Structure formats: structure tokens, C-alpha cells
Amino acid sequence: MKTSIKNVGYGLLLATAAALVVLSMLHTAFGVTFPLLVVKSGSMRPVIEVGDIIIVLPVNPSEIKADPVDGDVIVFYRPGEKGSTGSIIVHRAVARVTGGFITKGDANAAVDYWGPVPFDHVIGRWTGYSIPSWTGIGFLSLFLRGEIYFPIGPFLVLILIILNIYFIVKDFSRSRSKKTGGDESTQPSASIPP
């Protein structure tokens, strides 16, 4: 029973990691940002950290709440760079003006200099749910896409790879010893009669 729960856990973790890698590749190749987006800057700290994977859903701009304290966190293309995956920003809508939104990162002292963000540049709204950065999955995605190179990136990837190899080998050797009936050294040896 304990082993089957562990196998289900490994399976879920592996499936999640595989899904995130596929989504990361889709984002890189085609600019797909739904439903997951990896945050690569600290401008929304402490609400959203670097490496968090946020869940984003499409939104009609008329449904976005704009307020300096509790406005919606929106995902948008920087004005003038619509369609460029390298210009996707995650900031709070702090005011609605004619033609767009004034935005600001929670950790930033001033509103974004590029405002207003045109309504047609809004990609979606953060649902408030995320996969935290401490899981390492977001950093792995950023590293694989070539968006981070600081020392923790390769170190984190190396640790994850080593842990995965260790658990795969451990499970494989455990299942193999169960199939053969235990350790081969304890098996009686067959002797050929003279």
C-alpha cells in the first residue's frame, strides 16, 4: 500500500513536470501563455516571487478591477510590443484611463513609465493561484528556455536531475528484486548432478 501511494506521488510529480515542460516549449515556440506563466522578475514581490508559476485566464478588459491596493494582477504585452513573448509583463492594474490601464509592480516605487497599457494588449488575469517557486519547477522552466543563468539555475536543475535518477534507480532495483524473489545471493544455486 505504501509503495503504491509513493508510485502515485511520483507519477503525479512526473506528469506535472512533463506538462510544465510542454507548456514551456509551447510558450517558447508559439507564445502560448494559458493557463500557466512562469514569473521571471521580482517586481510583484511579495505577492508573486521569481520562479512562481501563476495560473492565468483570459479576461474581458471591462471586467478588470483597477485599484492601487487591491486591483487585479494582469498579464499584458508592454505597449508597442504586442505579440512579442519577450515583452510579457505581470503587474497590478492601478487605474483605468481612456484607452487602457495604468499598471505598477507591487515592489516598484512608481507606476510603469510605459502606461497606459492598451486594452487589446491585455492577455489575461491572474487567478490568485500559483505553483510556488520553492518547488523549483518554475526555475527549471526559465532555465530550459534560457531566461535565467544565475548560479542557482544550473545547480537546481542538477539537483533535480540527480534526485530523479536516484529515485528511478531505487524503484527499479526494488521492483526487480521483488520479481526475482529477493536478493540473488540468498537464492539456492542450481547444481548439475555428476
Instruction: Kindly report, residue by residue over 94-121, the tens digit of the pLDDT.
Output: 999 999 999 999 999 999 998 899 999 9
Least confident of 54-68, 111-125, 141-155: 141-155
Mean pLDDT of 16-24: 68
pLDDT at 186 exceeding the cut of 60? no
Q: How far apart are CA 119 and CA 96, in angstroms?
A: 10
Q: Which residue has the higher pLDDT, 95 or 160?
A: 95
pLDDT of residue 171: 84
| 38 close to 22: Cβ distance less than 8 angstroms | no
Domain assignments of the chain as residue spans, ordered by start: 2-155
> What are 121's three cell numbers?
494588449
> What are 182's three cell numbers?
529477493
Q: How far apart are CA 118 and CA 32, in angstroms?
A: 20
Q: How far apart are CA 145 and CA 56, in angstroms?
A: 19
What are the residues whose beta carbons fall under 8 Å from the beta carbon of 9, sequence distance 6 or more? Answer: none
Q: What is the largest CA-CA distance in the chain?
A: 99
Q: How far apart are CA 116 and CA 101, in angstroms?
A: 5
| 94 close to 111: Cβ distance less than 8 angstroms | yes
Cis peptide before 35 (omega within 30 of 0): yes
pLDDT of residue 153: 54
Number of C-alpha atoms within 13 angstroms, CB side, residue 178? 7
> Model-level pTM?
0.66
| Statement: 2-155 belongs to CATH 2.10.109.10 | yes
Q: How far apart are CA 135 and CA 76, in angstroms?
A: 25
Mean pLDDT of 134-143: 78
The alpha-helical segments, DSSP class H, found in 44-135 are: none
pLDDT at 149 exceeding the cut of 70? no
